[in-house]
Copies of this chain bind each other. A is one copy, B any other.
């Protein structure tokens, strides 16, 4: 087992963690540890909410989630010799839940508090707890579903330089300024999604690792939120970044200051419920290396990776199509997001034929290895997105021919609700 260079405690409050948690991107957060190129290390991670969710049968914790302090991450880690312009190579060797904590959760956030991709249709909080049985998972809140996960870190990233951080703040503030009325997350009358367009630096509940306390207030004014992925990779939430993958991330500061966390046991493309993967606390084993001057060599702006050959290998899919026409019949211009939404909504409607509630179906799409592809992006105005649901994740048969022959009814339980 590689040496553990960062420890967490799933039972302790955030301010009593063995190593200081970080929840913002900032170049001046001091490294929590150092790694040599070629070295492999173990890093422990809290779940992204920092222990806010418990293994029970209500969704009160999801409903009452404090969002400002997320994500709760581990790092930064200095990579010896890393310089701006290098590419950091990260091999994802293995990851998993803690031995005494073999469960994960998926939440549907309240529309007023976080929302999700289909929040107009699912405005209320709900939760599913998943038992993690080695590579397999199942949930008492979504019955007759059982599948192997492609566990992966939701977040891996390098620290931005001061210049890059300023650029992030500039461009995101410009976007925020386009929607000044969207300060509140939702229009309560229409229940139409009205989240803020982006999240500005939020000094509330900021965690900057081991930074000197006196330096925190100034840094907190500029430190970037960890929700979006950006040039430094960050919260990419790519379901295929599993064991055996090799990731290439640009370096922006001396030492790279690598941060990771937000471990997922499994995720569908899009992670659509927002708290949408099978979220878990756990450990991840990595080996890091450097490609000196790699950014110039590759000529690319963003992170790249090679998958690990061990994604679940399903072949028996039911595929749903969606186009960029809203549910109310409004035509949008080549909008892949709406295409995906319509395909997801069709998939949800379809799965309810088999005894699942719409919420359960929403959770299945968000957690199982579902593929969402941009099939056609040039056929204006209707971008076509496909959502492919693997039949193999169900204990029952969801084939359309089976359905047309009478189908498979049944009671599949229900997601946990607030009490």
Seen from chain A, the residues whose Cβ lies within 8 Å of a Cβ on chain B are: 1, 40, 87, 91-96, 99-100, 102, 116-117, 133-136, 147-148, 167, 170-172, 174-175, 195-199, 227-230, 233, 235-240, 243-244, 246, 248, 269-274, 276, 285, 287, 291, 294, 297-323, 325, 329-337, 340, 342-343, 345-346, 349-350, 352-353, 371-386, 388, 392, 395, 397, 399-401, 403-404, 407
Contact B311 A378 (CB under 8 A): no
Task: Please give, as numbers and ranges, the residues of chain B lying within 8 Å of A248 by CB-CB distance.
Answer: 400
Task: Please give, as numbers and ranges, the residues of chain B lying within 8 Å of A397 by CB-CB distance.
Answer: 397
Contact A310 B308 (CB under 8 A): no
A403 touches which of B297, B313, B333, B340 (Cβ 8 Å)? B297
Task: Please give, as numbers and ranges, the residues of chain B lying within 8 Å of A100 by CB-CB distance.
Answer: 1
Task: Please give, as numbers and ranges, the residues of chain B lying within 8 Å of A330 by CB-CB distance.
Answer: 171, 174
Task: Please give, as numbers and ranges, the residues of chain B lying within 8 Å of A309 by CB-CB distance.
Answer: 147-148, 312-315, 392
Known contacts being A235-B379, A236-B384, A299-B350, is A172 close to B371, with CB within 8 Å? no
Task: Report the bound CA distance from A209 to B396 in whole Å.
Answer: 42
For residue A245, which residue of chain B has the nearest CB? B319
For residue A273, which residue of chain B has the nearest CB? B378
Known contacts being A376-B237, A378-B270, is A244 close to B400, with CB within 8 Å? no
Contact B198 A331 (CB under 8 A): yes
Task: Report the bound CA distance from A415 to B407 in whole Å.
Answer: 30
Closest beta carbon of chain B to A140's beta carbon, Å: 14
Contact A300 B320 (CB under 8 A): yes
Closest beta carbon of chain B to A136's beta carbon, Å: 6
Task: Report the bound CA distance from A102 to B94 in whole Å.
Answer: 12
Task: Please give, as numbers and ranges, the residues of chain B lying within 8 Å of A270 by CB-CB distance.
Answer: 374-378
A378 touches which of B40, B272, B325, B404 (Cβ 8 Å)? B272
Task: Report the bound CA distance from A196 to B331 in whole Å.
Answer: 13
Known contacts being A309-B315, A321-B233, is A375 close to B298, with CB within 8 Å? no
Task: Please give, as numbers and ranges, the residues of chain B lying within 8 Å of A233 by CB-CB distance.
Answer: 321
Between A and B, 22 residue pairs with Cβ closer than 8 Å are A40-B133, A93-B135, A94-B135, A134-B285, A135-B310, A148-B244, A148-B308, A171-B330, A197-B380, A229-B379, A236-B375, A240-B319, A246-B401, A270-B375, A297-B404, A302-B346, A305-B321, A307-B319, A309-B313, A314-B315, A340-B377, A374-B385
Contact A329 B299 (CB under 8 A): no
For residue A407, which residue of chain B has the nearest CB? B297
Task: Please give, as numbers and ranges, the residues of chain B lying within 8 Å of A386 by CB-CB distance.
Answer: 238, 240
Task: Report the bound CA distance from A383 to B198 in whole Å.
Answer: 12
Task: Please give, as numbers and ranges, the residues of chain B lying within 8 Å of A353 by CB-CB distance.
Answer: 297-299
Task: Report the bound CA distance from A355 to B374 in whole Å.
Answer: 28
Task: Please give, as numbers and ranges, the residues of chain B lying within 8 Å of A94 by CB-CB distance.
Answer: 96, 133-135
Task: Report the bound CA distance from A342 to B236 in whole Å.
Answer: 14
Task: Report the bound CA distance from A224 to B129 in whole Å.
Answer: 46
Q: Which of A302, A303, A322, A378 has the most CB of B within 10 A?
A: A378
Task: Report the bound CA distance from A395 to B236 in whole Å.
Answer: 27
Closest beta carbon of chain B to A248's beta carbon, Å: 6
